[in-house]
Structure formats: C-alpha cells, structure tokens
Structure 1
Amino acid sequence: MGCSNFLTGFLNFVTFVLSLPIIGVGIWLAKQHNTVCIRFLQWPVIIIGVFILLVSFAGMVGAWCRVSCLLWVYLFVMLLLILLLFVFTIFAFAVTNAGAGHALSGKGYKEYHLGDYSTWLQRKVDNPSYRDKIKSCLSDAKVCNNLDNEYPTLTKFNAASLSPIESGCCKPPSSCNFIFVNATIWQGTSPPSAEDPDCGVWSNANLCYNCNSCKAGILQNIKQDWRKVAIVNIIVLVFLIIAYSVGCCAFRNNRWESGSGGGYGK
C-alpha cells in the first residue's frame, strides 16, 4: 500500500470514528430535550454527523481497498466542501465586521445598538420567525433569572460585567434613566423617554426581550461566535486541503496500479 493511500485511509478512519459521537449527540438531543432551541440544533448535528460518516467511509474504502470510483467521489465531495467552507469563512468575516459595544461611564458593562451591525444580520434578527425562536430560546435559557442574586444592589449591578445578551435583554437602556429596584425590576418614568424607543417597550414582566437593544445583544453574541467559527474554519480548511492533496496522490496511485491509465482500481 502506497504511503498516500495509507495516510488517506487513516485520516478518514479518524474522522469516521469521530462522526459516531456526533451522531450520538444529535440522537441524545432529540430524545432528552424538548425546547425550541435544542430541537433547532438536533437535526443539523445529526445531518453533519451522517455526512462526515459517509464521506469518511468512501475515502477510507477507496484508499485502502483501491476502489478508485469511491475515491473519486470522496475527492469531488472534498473539493466542494473546501469551496463551501472558504466562501462561508469569507462571508462570516464580512457580515460580522461591523458592530461593537459602547462603553458607559461608571458601568462595568457595555450597551449595544442594533444600527451598528450589518444590514444582513439586522434583517435576519428582525424576521418574525427568527424573532419568535430567539425569544423562546432566551426564555428557555433563563438568561436573566440569576441576575437578582448575583447583583442585589445598584453598586454591584453597575460594576457587573454583563454579557451582551444580559445587557441588551435583561435591563432597560441606560438612556431611559429608569430607577433601579433590582437587577430585573426597574421603575420607569411617565411618560417614557422619547430618546430611545426601547424605553416604551420595557416591562418588568417581559423585560426587554422585544427591544432593539436585545436584538443588538444577540447579534453581538452571534458575531463573537461566528468569529470563533471562522477561525476554526481556517484551521479545518488547512487540514482539508492537506487531506485533499494526499487523496489526489492516492487516486493517482490507484489509476497507475490499475494498468489502464484511466480505469478503476479493484
């Protein structure tokens, strides 16, 4: 067995084994959790796991068993995957280039404004179907529930390093000048300040889940996550390009050993 064939088969054996726990996690999510957020995640996880399993199987068998047709399919899919990852990585950096938190005097947290983010992200978060899912996810995650215990006084709350979602969704904007009762209960002014439309949307029952500041906090969180994913994608791309190059050598070996110049190895 040629070195390139062995390496291609070994790399795909590793990814084949890794795909099994990915599929297992997807099945576990489907059986153990009923929330909207988890249901949203379960099928993508299962589909990704099955896709990796099938592609790895084709590459492993094609390289180790000298089945050139399977190896050709594997290389074709790998090339598509490399192109898709490259395009997605560029797109992720482009749409997350804008937007950042605004520091506040005397506050440990930052506030976020919806208009600072890319138009594409704003349209997505304003879509009613996405908005309803986001609100359900925030409610299921209970992101604001522990703030009262963690920051019982205004001094501690002002010094808090709140996450973007906590800052945008769990409290009214500072421009509203609401009076602190506790971390999730604020006494508003009457009538609400016209400076920020979120001042009229805030309620102690529903917090700021319908506010633009909440959407901005979610987008900031998405931006941070997408930047991490994009960096991981660059690492994965390097790995895929190396694996693809080695696979091309294995495919060439299969064709050479078949003795037909273009036939399929056995």
Structure 2
Amino acid sequence: MVRISNNVLGIINIIAFILSIPIFVTGVWLSRQGNTECARSLEKVFVAFGVFLMIISIAGIVGACFRVSWILCLYLFLMFVLIILVLCSTIFVLAVTHKGAGKALSGRGYKEYRLGDYSHWLQNRVNNYEKWRRIKTCLQYSKVCMPTIGNHDASNAPAHLFYSKRLSAIQSGCCKPPDWCNFTYVSPTYWNKPTEAELPYTTTDCALWQNDPNVLCLDCESCKAGILDNLKSTWKKAAIVNTVFLKCLTVVYAIGCCAFRNTRKDDSWKRPPSGFVVQ
C-alpha cells in the first residue's frame, strides 16, 4: 500500500525541483549578462542556492517515490543541515541588526545616519576597503543618486522641495552632504562648501564631499551608515521570512521522517525472515 507521507513528500520535492530551475537559470543568465560587481555577487548566490535546492529535491523525489531508504536518509540529513543553517542565520541576523537607526531632523523629510550607531560587525563589513569598493561600484552603476521627484527630473528642484523629499537611507547618506556640514544647497547633487574654518572638525565627511556626480558622498561614513540601515531593514524582513521558512522546513522534515519510517517497514516486510530459505 502506498503511504500518504511518501506521496506528500514526493509532491513537495517535485515543486521544489521546479522552483530550483528558474533560480539556477537566473544565476547563469547573470553570469553571462552581468558586467558589474553587483551582478557577479548575485550570480553566485542564485547558482549556489539553485544547485543545492535541485540536489535536495532530487534526493527527496527518488527516496519518497521509489522508496529507497538510504536516499531518504541522505535527504533527511541534508534537510537537518538546512534547518540548522536557517536557524543559525536567523539568530545571527537578529543579533547584528539590533542597533542603529536614522535620526529625524526638524523640517526635513529625510533622516541622517551615523556609522557609529550600528553594530561593530556591520561596521567592519563596510570599513573593509575591497568590500566597500564593490559596494561603491554597485551604487554608481545603479544611479541611485539621480535626482528625481516622483517620476520627474529634479536636477533644478528648489531647496524647500528637496528638503521636504523623503529620501531613502542610501540617498540621504550617499547623495548629499550631511546636514551638520552646513553646506549651501544649489541642486540635489551640487552644494557649495563653507570655508575650511567653518567646516565641523568632528567628521571627515564634510571634506570628502565632491560635486562630481560619480563621487558625491560615496566615500563618506554617512554613506556607509545609509548602506547599513538599508541592509538592516532588508535583513530584518529576511529574518521574518526565515522564521516562516523554518516552520515549513520543520513540517517537511517531519513528513520525511514518516516516509523514512514507512520505507524501512516496507523493506523489513520484503526481507525473508532469518533462517528462511527462498526456494
């Protein structure tokens, strides 16, 4: 008699295998089309996850549908490793994203961000020269600092309109000088610096700002803080998804255990009893 748990496990892994195909294809496509650091980093993630999902789903399909106990055992081991990885990554994300937030400013639609407000682990990530070089390349390629209001060009927006605009953490930190530098607004990406004597001595960001569209404040600590705030928000959402995913994995793992137990029972029925000789 065909066991229900085997059928359910087989269906779940068939769906997982189908999903792994577009994930893997996306990674291959990025490897051929991507000519930036952003595309190359995404390519590795998609390819690795697609291949792992293919392997684990194939093991689940073969073990459940063809009732091969040793393959089901391998499948359960891989599932257990995946559950541990997801659990550890979720705990880690919550641990490193508990600090840091933007500071609201009076009369401004955006917030200001300071690097020292975030966890030391995150700060070390953006303070690494090679890692920051790759991030900066992504920012330049994405044209995140292109001035727009809604869907319209805002390169000549008046000051009051710019100050009321809701900027993202990255735009606030990387595309304009920090408010405490007391620069004079000309356009969203062009600001007049005060004299050297008037610049605040507490931060180097004011001196690093350049009106060159390819430079702006991309080397500023405020830019790194904006990146971390955006990363923090993304990772917190990922932690929520991981929690749901972990519950689903636990259910599938329980179904897999039932299927493995059923397969072992069927194998024991197929084997002749000890001392019995088949003629």
Same fold, judged at TM 0.5 (above): yes
Look up the equivalent residue of 2:229 and give its one-letter code.
Answer: Q
Look up the equivalent residue of 1:163 and give its one-letter code.
Answer: S
- Give 1:147 deviation, angstroms: 4.0
Q: What is aligned with 2:12?
A: 11
Greater CA deviation, 246-255 or 41-50? Answer: 41-50
Paired residues of 1:255 and 1:261 also in contact (CA < 8 A): no
- Give 1:139 deviation, angstroms: 0.6
Greater CA deviation, 44-53 or 253-262? Answer: 253-262
Task: Report the secondary structure of 1:37's partner residue.
Answer: helix
Q: What is aligned with 1:239?
A: 248
- Give 1:196 deviation, angstroms: 2.6
The alignment status of 1:193 with 2:200, answered yes or no, reads yes
Q: What is aligned with 1:204?
A: 211
Q: What is aligned with 1:214?
A: 223
Query: After superposition, where does 1:164-175 map in structure 2 within 5 Å?
Result: 164-175=169-180
Q: What is aligned with 1:150?
A: 154
Structure 1: how far apart are the matches of 2:147 and 2:36?
20
The alignment status of 1:48 with 2:49, answered yes or no, reads yes
The alignment status of 1:128 with 2:132, answered yes or no, reads no
Paired residues of 2:147 and 2:188 also in contact (CA < 8 A): no
Aligned residues: percent identity?
47
- Give 1:153 deviation, angstroms: 1.1
Give the structure-2-normalised TM-score.
Answer: 0.91
Look up the equivalent residue of 1:53 and give its one-letter code.
Answer: M
Which of 1 and 2 has greater Rg?
2
Structure 1: how far apart are the matches of 2:269 and 2:174?
66
- Give 1:190 deviation, angstroms: 1.1
Task: Report the secondary structure of 1:259's partner residue.
Answer: helix
Paired residues of 2:162 and 2:188 also in contact (CA < 8 A): yes
Give the structure-1-normalised TM-score.
Answer: 0.96
- Give 1:261 deviation, angstroms: 10
Structure 2: how far apart are the matches of 1:137 and 1:260?
60
Structure 2: how far apart are the matches of 1:101 and 1:158?
16
Structure 2: how far apart are the matches of 1:150 and 1:186?
15
Paired residues of 2:109 and 2:164 also in contact (CA < 8 A): yes
Look up the equivalent residue of 2:233 and give its one-letter code.
Answer: Q
Structure 1: how far apart are the matches of 2:208 and 2:135?
17
Paired residues of 2:147 and 2:189 also in contact (CA < 8 A): no
Paired residues of 1:172 and 1:198 also in contact (CA < 8 A): yes
Q: Of 164, 167, 170, which residue of structure 2 is paired with 1:159?
A: 164
Paired residues of 1:117 and 1:219 also in contact (CA < 8 A): yes
Look up the equivalent residue of 1:100 and give its one-letter code.
Answer: A
Paired residues of 1:96 and 1:118 also in contact (CA < 8 A): yes
- Give 1:150 deviation, angstroms: 3.0
Paired residues of 1:147 and 1:184 also in contact (CA < 8 A): no
List runs of 5+ in structure 2 lacking aligned partners: 272-279
Structure 2: how far apart are the matches of 1:235 and 1:256?
32
List runs of 5+ in structure 1 lacking aligned partners: none
Q: 1:69-98 CA deviation, whole Å, 9 max, x = no partner?
A: 111100001001101100110110110010
- Give 1:30 deviation, angstroms: 1.4
The alignment status of 1:110 with 2:126, answered yes or no, reads no
Q: What is aligned with 1:252?
A: 261
Q: What is aligned with 1:226?
A: 235
Task: Report the secondary structure of 1:98's partner residue.
Answer: coil
Structure 1: how far apart are the matches of 2:73 and 2:269?
16
- Give 1:31 deviation, angstroms: 1.7
Look up the equivalent residue of 2:167 and give its one-letter code.
Answer: L
Q: 1:49-70 CA deviation, whole Å, 9 max, x = no partner?
A: 0110110000011001001111
Q: 1:102-135 CA deviation, whole Å, 9 max, x = no partner?
A: 0000000001110000000001110111110011
- Give 1:193 deviation, angstroms: 2.4
Q: What is aligned with 2:275?
A: none
